[in-house]
Amino acid sequence: MNMRMRNIVAALCAVTLVALTGCMGSKSATSSGRGGEVTGVGGGRSFKEPAPYGMTMVKRGFLKMGIDQQDTLWGKQTPVKEISVDGFWMDETEVTNSKYKQFVFWVRDSILRERLADPAYGVDETYKITEDKNGDPVTPHLDWKKSLPRKPNEDELRAIESLYITNPVTGEKSLDASQLNYRYEIYDYTTAALRRNRLRPEERNLNTDVIIDPNEEVMISKDTAYIDDEGRIVRETINRPLSGPWDFLNTYIVNIYPDTTCWVNDFRNSDNEMYLRNYFSNPTYNDYPVVGVTWEQANAFCAWRTDYLLKGLGPEARYVQRYRLPTEAEWEYAARGKDGAEFPWENEDVKNGDGCFFANFKPDKGNYTKDGNLITSKVGIYSANTNGLFDMAGNVAEWTSTIFTEAGVDAMNDLNPQLEYKAAKEDPYGLKKKSVRGGSWKDPESYIRSAWRSWEYQNQPRSYIGFRCVRSIATSSSVKQKKR
């Protein structure tokens, strides 16, 4: 078992130990209580979760999900169901180019540090920490406190330039986007918790209608990935017998640079080269929603954002939930606002009495500019809904974590409904459909309703699809949203 596996198993054991015994320093079970009465033991200092930066709290509640009056104009049947969802934090706006650039630059700088520490370049091995202050060996990791060289020498320059390519026409150097790969690991606690996956066979038949032979070999599907000798990402789904808790650790490698060519590929016979060359790279568009990001890239951003947060926290990091994409139910519940409205505003019209539109969409056929915009708009320039969320209709449609099926919510539980499936590379494309919500700058009024359902393949980037993150609320003590 390697060092990382030991750390994961140790962490799982630590979580179990805390759950059983509480925190160190609390009263012991034998000394608590009076006169032999059971009064409970302390759980240590309570944790009050602060409002995450740029997020708003959506409190738990009830929703009649879907459209009661089916859309006869478009012939779309939308499943309807009464559901309840727990509270969560949600980004006030869609993730912007600026925020996604921070992710891209972090990946770039991590690769540069790896290469500067690589003996093959003969540069500076101190960019990687291999031992602690006492000289004891630790799992090698990058030293982010050590700055990148401002005036690189010949060896440093060779390491840095290995990440750039030269334009054969202009001679300009630019990042080699094909190298910007982010590797992350996700432990699948849900699958690990299923009784059929218990390591002790005698525990697999507790409270279940399906009798499992305790001697039957349990097969586990696990995602893994690696970079081959030619620098290509190879993703595999391994099916193997259950052997230990590390079988639920999935590894992903994702190239995270947005597909800037989506502006050309989405609109044939049109001149959109300006957006191809400017939309992500030009600071003018920093506060616009990032597009050209696949569902897989959006998940990688959530994983990086989580790790980035946890590194800045102390012991309380164990209470904080991961950033993730919203479920389809969470998205609709948040978009409808506190009154469950059809649109993220109070009435059924798409503009106010002064003729100003409530969202960025396509009001008429071919007239993209009637609402004041041609393509996307800056995030947050339209009014927020009653949950404090901006652009929940129009601007860009948004990825959810839910797999798309025609049955929709009918196939889900009515408590925190979700359908999740991690499609393997070899799976048919029908299993790679993910639900997309909210409509975009190119969609008509009917498509920007909160209940409208659409989909896209998880590996398909579009110029009209972006995303925002959510985070489950860590504790019930997070009652009031902090005002900024």
Q: What digits encode the pLDDT tens for the residues 74-98?
A: 456 778 999 999 999 999 999 999 9
DSSP code of residue 426: T
Beta-strand ranges (E) seen in 326-452 are: 397-403, 433-437
CA 190 to chain centre: 17
pLDDT score recorded for residue 479: 46
The Cβ of residue 361 has, within 10 Å, a number of other Cβ atoms equal to 25
| Other CB atoms within 10 Å distance of the CB of residue 383 | 12
Residue 195, SS3 per DSSP: helix
Q: What is the pLDDT of residue 43?
A: 64
Q: By the 8 A CB rule, do 187 and 208 touch? A: no
Residue pLDDT, tens place only, 13-25: 444 444 444 444 4
H-run or E-run covering 219: strand 219-227
Does residue 188 carry a pLDDT above 90?
A: yes
Question: Residue written as tokens 């079988």?
Answer: 247
Give the Cβ contact number of residue 365 at 10 Å: 6
What percent of the chain lies above the pLDDT cut of 90?
63
**Per-residue CA distances from 136 to 5, 129, 130, 133, 449 (Å):** 19, 11, 8, 7, 58
Neighbouring-strand partners of residue 223: 237
Flag whether pLDDT at 308 surpasses 80: yes
Residue 480 has pLDDT above 80, yes or no: no
Confidence of residue 70 (pLDDT cuts 50, 70, 90): low
Spatial separation of the C-alpha atoms in residues 309 and 469, rounded to whole Å: 13
pLDDT of residue 347: 80
Asked if residue 29 has pLDDT above 60, the reply is: no
Question: What is the enclosing helix (H) or strand (E) of 98?
Answer: helix 97-116
Which stretch of 149-158, 390-399, 468-477 has the lowest confidence by average pLDDT? 468-477
First and final C-alpha spacing in the chain: 47
CA gap 149, 15 in Å, rounded: 41
Ramachandran angles phi, psi of 241, nearest 5°: -65, 140
Where do the H-state alpha helices sit in 150-201? 154-161, 189-193
Contact call for residues 437 and 264 (beta carbons, < 8 A): no
Among the ranges given (73-77, 209-213, 272-276), the one the predictor scored with the smallest mean pLDDT: 73-77
Q: b/e per residue, 100-130, with b = 16+ CB within 10 A?
A: bbebbebbbeebbbebbbbeebebbeebbbe
* Higher-scoring residue by pLDDT: 331, 68: 331
For residues 173, 178, 180, 184, the Cα torsion angle rounded to the nearest 10 degrees is 180
Residue 171 has pLDDT above 90, yes or no: no
Q: Which helix (H) or strand (E) holds 137?
A: strand 137-142
Lowest mean pLDDT among 155-159, 285-289, 292-296, 457-461: 155-159
Q: Return the H-helix or E-strand segment holding 173.
A: strand 173-175
Strand partners for 187: 249
Phi-psi region of 395 (alpha: psi -120 to 50; beta: other; left: phi over 0): left
SS3 375: coil
Please give the pLDDT value at position 134.
87
Does the pLDDT at position 125 exceed 50?
Answer: yes
Give me the chain's average pLDDT, please. Answer: 87
